[in-house]
Chains A and B, each alone.
Chain A
Amino acid sequence: MIRYFQEIFSGLWSLLVGMRLTARMAVAPTITTHYPFDTLEITPNFRGHIDLVINPKTARDKCIVCMMCQRACPSGCISLKGEKPEGAKKKVLTEYHLDFTKCSLCGNCVETCPVNALEYSRDYQLAGFSRHEFHFDLVDRFRQRAREQGLDPKVGDLTPPPPKPPKPAATETAPDASGSTDG
């Protein structure tokens, strides 16, 4: 008989303990963020989909069209093309398509790139109405992003390079250019 009541009272007590806790939680401040109006600061290390690195000095991409990223991607979502402008030695990137629907964000492409031409974007607000919206044209994105940074994007630029200037001139201009941007 005593145990019967003891059980009831200890049970009731445990319920009251829980209720006191939730009551205290109820008056504590909320911990959520009102998302579309407030956003959390996102860590600089966030790995979003990939993007081409913009060289702020030249407003060019760094890609040398070596195809390493395309080969390293386990999901086969990268396809890129480059062309050789007339008279140039190196290829210039003209098309870079990322099929983000297949990307597993593994980071292999970024890590294999020999010239660090790829970076992770910090775009996380990715929602769309169809899967076609996630076939990113990174060259296009490059242009947009460069413009946002106030640069005149020079990507996929197929104009033949100026005929080789005499050697001393080239070495002279290079430090000049970098010096001016630094200052």
Chain B
Amino acid sequence: MSNALPPDLIRLVVSLAVVVGFAFANAAVLVLVERKVCGHIQRRPGPFEVGPHGLLQTAIDGLKLMGKQILVPDNADTKLFRLAPILSFVPPIAALIVVPFAKVLQVRDLDIGVLFILSLAAVNVLAILVAGWSSANKYSLFGAIRAVAQNVAYEIPLLLSLLVVVMWVGSFRMSDIVAAQDGFWFVFTPMGFVAFLIYFVTGLAETNRAPFDLPEAESELTAGFHTEYAGMGFGLFFLGEYTNMLLMAAIATTCFLGGWNGPWFLAVSGTGVVATLIQLCWFLVKVYGIILVMVWIRWTFPRVRFDQLLNFCWKVLIPISMANLVATAVVAKLVPLG
């Protein structure tokens, strides 16, 4: 049997299924978390009626979305219109395969891990562009244009802030990055902290989260690039958005918060089942902690304006991350790691 099906392939298929399942579950949980947090910030309970404390609300909503007809506007470019939602949620799921959830829980430990994730995450903007363009709606088009300008600009500080870590570790490999943070996390170094902040801000912008949700700015562009999407098309965009959030938080955790490492006094570095579970827990706690802050931010702030967004990127984020990078290079030269 092992001849017919190479174990590697089985491993790949199984892990892919797990990753996809995880992405779906994540989206379901996050939608609920988002609505609950939003509700409590606004001093209301959020979804409450479906299931105990509204726990089944997302499931029902998902069902409803699936049951809806997928409408394609008359003048829309049908093929592209249908392609866009898929384009928006497949790449982030694919990118999840290099994320080290625990020491052994990593589908592929590519030696270009960070690059792989970033390049896949960048496809997201393509999905938005395609969606906005093919919808034949002026508001959607505006959303798409905004998304492209925004994501292209924010990609630079994003990369620069990650380069700080890469430079320090000397490797793009995710497992190396985690291993280098055994006991002390990059976020606790001054350079690491600045890089983390910058990464966090750009991550918000890359995932089009408030206050940088310009592509879907509701009060200006009705719903931006997904104005014309109904039913599962819209659902897939949602899925993509939440998976992207997960991905951004996972990278932040891996690169700045020590990945699956617990705090030094609680660190478990084995590869057994129990150790793996503990590591997984640490990883998820950090990831969801970051996501929680993202949600919290969304329900607190107004949206920034388009030119301010770009100004902020070019005048604040990029210079600071450049300076940070130079500082890191100097320090890394003077104080070799370890």
Q: A residues engaging B (CB < 8 A)? A: 8, 15, 18-19, 21-23, 25-32, 34
Contacts and interface: CB of A to CB of B under 8 A. Distances in A.
B41 interface: yes
18 contacts: A18-B300, A18-B301, A19-B297, A22-B41, A22-B300, A23-B41, A23-B296, A25-B40, A25-B42, A25-B43, A26-B41, A26-B296, A27-B40, A28-B43, A30-B44, A31-B44, A32-B44, A32-B45
Nearest to A7: B316
From B39, B43, B299, name the one whose CB has the most chain A CB atoms within 10 angstroms.
Answer: B43
Task: Identify whether the interface residues of A are mostly helix, strand, loop, or mixed.
Answer: helix
A26 B40 contact: yes
Given A22-B296, A22-B300, A34 B48 contact: yes
Interface in B291-338: 296-297, 299-301, 316
A25 B40 CA distance: 7
A19 B301 CA distance: 8
Nearest to B197: A12
Interface of B: 37, 39-45, 48, 296-297, 299-301, 316
A27 B297 CA distance: 16
B129 to A, nearest CB: 30
A53 B65 CA distance: 50
A25 B41 contact: yes
A21 B41 CA distance: 9
Contact of A8 (B37, B44, B48, B316): B316
B191 to A, nearest CB: 16
A6 to B, nearest CB: 13
Q: Across chains A and B, which 4 residue pairs bring their CB atoms closest together, nearest first?
A: A32-B44, A26-B40, A22-B300, A26-B41
A133 to B, nearest CB: 25
Nearest to B36: A26
Nearest to B37: A26
Given A25-B43, A30-B40, 18 more contacts: A8-B316, A19-B296, A21-B300, A23-B41, A25-B40, A25-B41, A25-B42, A26-B37, A26-B41, A26-B296, A27-B40, A30-B39, A30-B45, A31-B43, A32-B43, A32-B44, A32-B45, A34-B45
A15 B48 CA distance: 30
Contacts of B297: 19
A28 B40 CA distance: 8
Contacts of A8: 316
Contacts of A25: 40-43
A23 B292 CA distance: 11
A23 B40 CA distance: 9
B43 A30 contact: yes
Contacts of B300: 15, 18-19, 21-22
A19 B39 CA distance: 15
Nearest to A14: B301
Nearest to B297: A19
Contacts of B48: 34
Contact of B301 (A15, A27, A30): A15
A31 B44 CA distance: 6
Contacts of A28: 43
A48 B296 CA distance: 41
Nearest to B211: A15
Contacts of A18: 300-301
A34 B40 CA distance: 14
B199 to A, nearest CB: 15
B322 to A, nearest CB: 14
B298 to A, nearest CB: 10
Contacts of B41: 22-23, 25-26
Contacts of A32: 43-45
A17 to B, nearest CB: 10
From A8, A21, A22, name the one whose CB has the most chain B CB atoms within 10 angstroms.
Answer: A22
A71 B219 CA distance: 46
Contacts of A26: 37, 40-41, 296
Nearest to B42: A25
A28 B48 CA distance: 17
A163 B39 CA distance: 69
A34 B42 CA distance: 15
A57 B301 CA distance: 62
A164 to B, nearest CB: 63
A114 B76 CA distance: 66
Contacts of B45: 30, 32, 34
A53 B296 CA distance: 53
From A8, A23, A32, A34, name the one whose CB has the most chain B CB atoms within 10 angstroms.
Answer: A32
A22 B299 CA distance: 8
Nearest to A21: B300
